[in-house]
Structure 1
Amino acid sequence: MADYPTITEQVEDVQTAREEGHRKMDWAREHMPILTALQADFEADQPFEGQRIGMAMHVEAKTAVLVETLAEAGAEVAVTGCNPLSTHDDVSAALDEHPNISSYAKREVDDEEYYEAIEAVISHEPTITVDDGMDLVAAIHEDYPELIDTIVGGCEETTTGVHRLRAMDADGALEYPVFAVNDTPMKRLFDNVHGTGESSLANIAMTTNLSWAGKNVVVAGYGYCGKGVAKKAAGQNASVVVTEVEPRRALEAHMEGYDVMPMDEAAEIGDVFLTTTGNRDVITADHFEKMNDGVLLANAGHFDIEINLDQLSEMAVSQRDAREGVREYKLEDGRRLNVLAEGRLVNLASPIALGHPVEVMDQSFGVQAACVREMVENSEAYDAGVHDVPDELDKEIAEIKLDAEGIAYDDLTDEQAEYMGSWQHGT
């Protein structure tokens, strides 16, 4: 495997970077009661002692709290980025200072460096994988299958990764169990809806210094992420257009009051286009030809394939950086189309990106930590393949959050529980 340096060997002023990274992590931790509670339990019980956890995640302050939580539970952790532009180098350096953590994540790496860092994580021979996008799982299966027998299981964070894993599972190619963390209520209802909705719009606004009010915002895809983006954009007085390929989601968007139309039609009226599909070629040359001068093009899906930038580059007569994080493509007829964050995850890859709100990621990463615990403690219960997260784990995280917020809720009485479990009570 490649001999790839940790971030400590790549940062010029490592001590300054570490101090700033710890400052960011301290702020995040103050607002993450779920991981704080889990870490206290983990430190006492050391449930991951002897485990080696390999991670490919967006390495920023909130993720760092999860990484430290797993390390404080006794694990040796090796981590790298899951996107070339989403790492915060100072946070990565702060993590690498921990005696149980090796961080290879670095911002603005090329494709070769990106995969060398993944190989560096794999060189630790992980017994557990925690992935965001499935690149780590894919690399192990394709290049290091000899490690699979010693891998207990894994967890997958995001929609795109779960889609890839399910396709892999359907082909009979996934050879160890992986929890679909993305598909839990605590992930979809909060991370995907509120996290993606708020962080994507906030980063676009900060990057461009433009208002949402009065703009036609085209949201491609009406899954949980698309629902969040549409809801938050409408809340900032934008007119929302939804494009979809699934008829029930298209109908749902219509019933929520949004205009629904094909992308061919939306291309003619949109001011801002935001893709949330996880699929490729959502916006292509046919659409570029119809767009108005000055439109903004952004992606909130995992990979940079939703907006076809190769086609846009071929159409452009010139390119320039209109602002930091905004690439302007000028077409032959004088129209200018502006791509944010190189078509990558706009809420994590733009120059001033901070990702999802801290409180939201506390919930998602709480599920991740609980799933790692479940996989370590009960791995024999899970065959190779994709598994839903046990509902009691998801509820556990919700209960910790409610307790931290001082929110009380009702319980079923014995009679109610008996009624709900019976088929014999009729009219």
Structure 2
Amino acid sequence: MDFGFDARTRELRDRLLAFMDEYVYPAEPVLREQTEAAADPWRIPPVVEDLKAAARAQGLWNLFLPDEEYGAGLTNLQYAPLAEITGRSPQLAPAALNCAAPDTGNMELLAQFADDAQRKQWLEPLLAGEIRSAFAMTEPDVASSDATNIETRIVRDGDGYVINGRKWYISGAMNPECRIFIVMGKTDPGGADVRRQQSMVLVPRDTPGLRVRRGMRVFGYDDGHHGGHAEVVFEDVRVPVANLVGEEGGGFAIAQARLGPGRIHHCMRLIGMAERAIELMCRRAAARTAFGKPLAAQGVVQNWIADARVSVEQLRLLVLKTAWLMDTVGNRGAHTEIQAIKIATPRAVLDILDKAIQLHGAGGVSQDHPLAELWAHARTLRLADGPDEVHQRSLARRELKKHA
């Protein structure tokens, strides 16, 4: 395993670091001002579109897609240090580079499983950053981390499918630029194989019967920068059979294929969040005096900073190993490591952010620093793509099988 940066990664990394300094960090207070002044809290603020134009002009666009036909053609190992950098400003940088969830996972899904007509209609405008999308899987009435529990029905009726169900925390769905929903439901609820009962269909936002009921908050935040999270109701929503993604019964497998890259992208960005927290901790410790000496001279603060550095270095190595395995032996070969980083990274980053908040006192939970919002984002990721316990269960089973 060689985790050194190759020439292309070094070049992109240097350009991205410069882009962050010149464009992204100065735009953060502008984003807050535009969000607070907006009449529609869900519409993407103008500053994001300005950043997208600048990023595209500099060739920092669709870096996440490994397929050269659609994206930058980077491996997971090449993309990892770039995603880490964007994690330092998770509300702005990923969106600026057209590398923000849920569009990233949806574009990967469409590139891999959609037919030519579906790609032409939906993937191309997503790649161009002209529209946004949503992935509708999670439901409030069942444990959606086990996709076999999904209750939304997708029933074949002549030349179409009729969809009925209720979803929530559907990221991006509040955004008026969200034009397409990828909806997961059951086409064969009585099927013998519980993993062949689900299918995915494409549902345009303006389809009759699709109703975005309300925005869902995250620890009190509307999280509107990427279009919020919505509760969505499907009442006799009818779409053509041509809107089926892949084949009937293939929804579970498609969902698993979508989640693998999504999980590692989240972990890459979380490391960037931790790095920014450490930077803020050090600046605060050097500038603040308490009990007669700088916070940087307090032993407990030194311990926090040292422990944070050790944790980040450990996590980065595990994430890079996972990326390398995904590139060399595929997602299935990296199954253990993907689950391990999903368990370990949010936990450790939350602890680092908690210490950074503590070091900033009341300011740490305020809007004057990014720490509270970063903490809410990191805590949410302990649930997104499956809670810790689901990954622990699966990981333990694999370990136990070795000794059965």
TM-score scaled by structure 1?
0.27
Which structure features the higher share of helix residues?
A: 2
TM-score scaled by structure 2?
0.28
